Structure 1
Amino acid sequence: MHPIYLRKSDSPTVRQNDYKQGKTSHQFEVIRLWEQPSEPLLKAPGLFPFAILAQAEKQENLLRQIAQEIEQISDSREQSNLAASTAILAGLVL
């Protein structure tokens, strides 16, 4: 299990990598997208929408780059879905 946080937060929960209650204990890796480089997310079309939430000097420039990548997709339905998903997630940071 890997919790994925989309939006930067100062909450201590964002840094928590274990859960304990009684005899139950779980360890997990937390993924904080704002700490991840955007390049790996730009290598797989299905991850394009999440790239806007990753590290970038300027989010606007990253969004332009993502839009260019999406424009290269030949399947119009996939292109439309990725553009819409990217726009929704971009609303979290722009």
Structure 2
Amino acid sequence: MTKLLGLPGIVVEDSQEIDNTIILKVKRIEKKAVCPRCGQRSHRLHQNKYHLVKDLPWSGQQVILKVNRRQFKCENCQKPFSEKLDFVG
């Protein structure tokens, strides 16, 4: 499923089919994220938060991405921040 989705740096952890909808649980492979304030990379996970994102349909079925958008705490400026997900508008 990860190859079919075709998003660089993203892996499909799980998939479900409910009625006419495919739900793909996805996350970033990278274990660190860059703080938007100071530019330092951090690996200190603060919390996980899932978002549902509607994607293009596959074979007439609706596709929803269940995206884990992690929050980190910057080791330098000590502020929490959310990782940037380029594929989510």
* Range class of TM-score, shorter chain: under 0.3
Q: When you count helix as a share of all residues, which structure comes out higher?
A: 1
Q: When you count strand as a share of all residues, which structure comes out higher?
A: 2
**Greater Rg, structure 1 or structure 2?**
1
